[in-house]
Structure 1
Amino acid sequence: MKILVASNNAKKLAELERILREADVAGVELIPLNQAPAYEEPVEDGRTFADNALIKARAGARETGLVCIADDSGLAVEELGGMPGVLSARWSGRHGDDAANNTLLLGQMAHVPDGRRSCAFVSVCALVTPAGEEHVAEGRWEGTLLREPVGDNGFGYDPLFLPADEIAAGRSSAQLSPEEKNALSHRGKALAQLVGDIRRLAGQ
């Protein structure tokens, strides 16, 4: 069975491949967007991660006739009512400007005491079939917002995120190796919840 992964991010494909391999799910071929029939990607104008994940997965299934998996993710800060949330990549007004996004968020949280700096990386993954069957799963990576960037690995808000798993060691997400980060990943947690549905669709 072929599954379209509505992304060209090789890391996302590798993560799902690893999860399926560890769950002994065979006979599934993952197809990235750049190897699928071309179609106009939809506007991600949802209010929630689930909205955007479903927008992408529905479009992929409809346009290619393949089962499609898509995700949407970002940082949710409790003090800000869950924002930046779906606006994470463009929090400063410019899409993908990590430095500006981080600077703005730190400024907004500058006077918030340590006890109120809880946050989480959130990923919602949606699986949609051409017949209209839909499944949605959420993964969360809980942590605390730091007061300044720490570490050179990762991207986005990684330098500002102290995972709950790393409080004792004091390492930000940007100080973890890719392997360590993948083992804790919010996206990995969400994808793992879809394994049963993928297994069933693959006839196993």
Structure 2
Amino acid sequence: MLFDDTYKTVGRPGEGIFRDKGSKFIGYAIPVKTEQELKDHLARIRAEHPKARHYCWAARFTTDRSVFKLNDDGEPSGSAGRPILNTLLSQDVTNTVVIVVRYFGGTLLGIPGLINAYKTAAVEALKESVIIELSLTDVYSLHFGYLEMNTVMRVLKEHDLQILEQSFDNECSITLGIRKSILNQVLGKMDKVSGLSYKYLYSN
């Protein structure tokens, strides 16, 4: 294999709590694939904690470490979202958001205190979640004639490819996931099947 085509993400959400000088920080580690999912979780957590002072978060959506989103939600710049993001990066977890809800306890913690609090709540949330490893896959749709079915199925079996949808008639179509590390190999074999066409749909 020329490159690693797996990544770590949260399989089951986790929740962690950190307290400092009366302030309470509740961290939530949640799997997300889209910004819409992130917004939905944020809205849900705000509704669950209507009296909290801040809802700070950081999220990663790809394996690219330079692609992320974060929000300090009124805390001093760099004191909340950034330490949460650094926790995601140091544990190498993606397709995940960590949201930390803060109930203010009346005593200011200062920037170092805030950084420590948000980081610790994020670490605790990830510790309580279940981290899983998934493969990076590209999803393709294949179209071919019924006579080519055996040839196509042989390639699928050879590479243990995952079929997501299929429909077999005179004209057959299959939607399948192909791990990135073997993509060129598989498409090379598909190119040799007469009358077969394929189309890239999306990446997982």
Asked if these proteins are the same fold (TM beyond 0.5), I'd say: no
Q: Higher helix share goes to which structure?
A: 1
TM-score (norm 2): 0.26
Q: Higher strand share goes to which structure?
A: 2
Q: Which has the higher contact order (CA 8 A, sep 6+)?
A: 2
